[in-house]
Amino acid sequence: MDIKDGVAVVTGGASGLGEATVRYLLGKGAKASILDFAQDRGEKLAAELGGEVLFCKTDVTDESSVKEAILKTMEVFGAIHFVVNCAGVATPGRVLGKEGPMDIGRFNQVIQINLVGTMNVIRLAAEQINKNQPNEDGEKGVMVNTASVAAFEGQFGQAAYAASKAGVAGMTLPIAREFANYGIRIVTIAPGLFETPMMAGMSPKVYESLVKMTLFPKRLGRPVEFAMLTAQIIENPLLNGEVIRLDGGLRMGAK
């Protein structure tokens, strides 16, 4: 699909991979609605980027909150063509730690935000995308989700995170098969290690150990590289129902 003049909904769009995606799609002529819980950052970013950007304070786990954001986006921009799900958390925790079994509430929170939150946005945005007029290929819209290499190689302490991201990866093909009837494509990106706020604060020693696991280039990914792949997915009509690793050949060790 053409990005120019399209409307993108980006969850987690106030920072990290989401912010980079918002900026990149704007640069290609799109409008963007940022759905994020971080109100200060979201409002500041929207003010910086101008009238082609809308900020909606959103809790992706809450149905009414997502509905309100989707409807507000429709009111302001008149349509939704692209969805990019970047909202997520990476709360670590051992299943059996020094203080006993993991708090199941912590596990559930990660699942709710990363997996249920992604589905919440998919299902509610799809209802609006399905109203679009199809292009010459029959396309009405494109959805891009964010999983993680942890979906396949979860590390020590990542049981909740890995489970949530494996769920995002696992539901990609079934949704693509269903949405084929509506002219909506869906693809999931599984990023490796990226320079995002989630990774901020690591020591040089930890940084070096992570870089060693990457084949090439020997560095963490840059958020703009995630944004570039998102744009390429939108523009390439044959990409559908797939999970694409974006990791420089990284294979995570146990720790």
Query: Catalytic residues, which ones?
Result: 161
Beta carbons of 147 and 190 less than 8 angstroms apart? yes
Cis status, amide bond into 217, omega within 30 of 0? yes
Please, is 244 exposed, middle or buried when counting C-beta atoms within 10 Å of its C-beta (0-12, 13-18, 19+)? middle
